[in-house]
Amino acid sequence: MNRYRRTAPTGPARRDFVRAGLGAVGLTAVGGPLLAACGSSASKSAASVGTGTTGPGPKNFGTLTYRLSWVENVEFAGAYIADSKGYYKAEGFSGLSIIPGGPSATPMETDVVTKKAIVAISSPDITGAAVAKGAPLKIIGAQYQKNPFVIMSMADKPIAKPEDMYGKKIGVQGANESVWNAFLAAAKLDASKITKVPVQFDPTPLTQGTVDGWFSFITNEPVDLGMKGFKVATMMLADHGYPLVSEVYIVRADTIASQRPLLKALLRAEIKGWTDNLKDPGLGASLTVNTYGKSLGLKVDEQALESKAENLLILNAETKTNGIFTVTDALIEQNIATLKTGGLNLSASQLFDLSLLKEVYQEDPGLIAALPAVPTPA
């Protein structure tokens, strides 16, 4: 299943809504409505979201309103596990209210700005574009340490490095052109030497030889084709000049100051949930198919493969040492430089605030000790 095609039962590609973050497309997409919400009465009327005690004594944070970036697939396994195992409740939340994403959903950033959700999952390019327009948002952690975009090719004709695309035909979806163009610029490639072929999201043209390469997510189309018996190769953009982290936690900037204990409680529960999924990727797959995403008609074996694939993006040598969701200073600067390539001139402090995670791990180093060994590709 390609999480960008999936809806219930059919619908537009997800990337049409959340992956056009860099350049003019992204800046336009998060314009007037989002900024109007920043100072609207909606923001005030939703102020009860996530409120609770912040001082000494029993914690009572109320219901955690959590906006997903897409439908309830295995991409959000850590949250499902944290809910099902009671980690949120142990941290002081009375319950979890999931707000799914999808074609008809409002932007993730709007839901956080208006306080419909206390937290949302997004990406630096989308959030950065909103911040550049004045949205009071911050990234407080990143699940994926490596950007999941890849150039997929058939294994017998692999594209192993960016220059291998010269003289080749690469299938690129219209909604992904902003990311494609940003990658070409970041990798200093000559676009005139590559034939870009407009495609949709079904990678069949690659298997038929119509194109030589395919723009996709490492967790999606490669898994789809692999399950169908095709042998493919992947070149990750993150390894060649496009280091944007992904699946980031975004919150209102003022919430960091006013509800710091709540956000730290959220992060602790998420860390525990994702640690369990890192140890047993089948757990998140089972909860996705049988409970949280039951209406989507997903398959456990497929979701388990995607769960294993995303675990490779979450736990690496740095996060094994520093804790999952952390981002090194060097990687943050690489993200800021990449966003600048796409026209977003932001400083690290304008977009990131990882102080909450730092406090969480200082207060409970056992969270790092509980992490499993760094997974290796199959």
The pTM score is 0.83
Residue 43 has pLDDT above 50, yes or no: no
35 or 224: which leads in pLDDT: 224
> Which of the four pLDDT bands, split at 50, 70 and 90, describes residue 145?
very high
**Can you tell me which residue has the tokens 């909604």?**
175
Residues 6+ apart with CB under 8 A from 308: 281, 375, 378
Mean pLDDT for 252-269 is 98
Residue 54 has pLDDT above 90, yes or no: no
DSSP line for 78-107: HHHHHHHTTHHHHTTEEEEEEE--STTSPP
> Which of the four pLDDT bands, split at 50, 70 and 90, describes residue 359?
very high
With 0-12 / 13-18 / 19 or more C-beta atoms within 10 angstroms meaning exposed / middle / buried, residue 113 is: buried
Q: Which two tokens stand for residue 175?
A: 């909604």
> Which of the four pLDDT bands, split at 50, 70 and 90, describes residue 35?
low
With 0-12 / 13-18 / 19 or more C-beta atoms within 10 angstroms meaning exposed / middle / buried, residue 338 is: buried
Mean pLDDT for 199-223 is 93
| Max Cα-Cα span within the chain | 66
**Buried/exposed 28-37: b ≥16 CB within 10 Å, e otherwise:** ebbeeebbeb
Residue 245 has pLDDT above 90, yes or no: yes
Report the C-alpha gap between 165 and 178 in whole angstroms.
Answer: 18
333 or 103: which leads in pLDDT: 333
Residue 196 has pLDDT above 50, yes or no: yes
Least confident of 28-37, 160-169, 171-180, 185-194: 28-37
Let me know: does 308 contact 280? Beta carbons within 8 Å: no
How wide is the angle at C-alpha 75 spanned by C-alphas 84 and 107, nearest 5°? Answer: 105
pLDDT at 32: 52
> Which of the four pLDDT bands, split at 50, 70 and 90, describes residue 38?
low
Report the C-alpha gap between 273 and 74 in whole angstroms.
Answer: 13
pLDDT digits (tens, 9 = 90+) for 5-17: 332 323 333 443 3
Residue 25 has pLDDT above 70, yes or no: no
Report the C-alpha gap between 309 and 303 in whole angstroms.
Answer: 10
Element (H, E) at 332: helix 329-341
**Amino acid (1-letter code) at residue 299:** K
Residue 371 has pLDDT above 80, yes or no: yes
End-to-end alpha-carbon separation of the chain, Å?
Answer: 20
Q: Among residues of the chain, what percentage have pLDDT more than 90?
A: 73
What is the residue-averaged pLDDT of the chain? 86
Report the C-alpha gap between 179 and 164 in whole angstroms.
Answer: 19
pLDDT at 58: 63
**Amino acid (1-letter code) at residue 135:** A
Q: Which two tokens stand for residue 159?
A: 């594209």
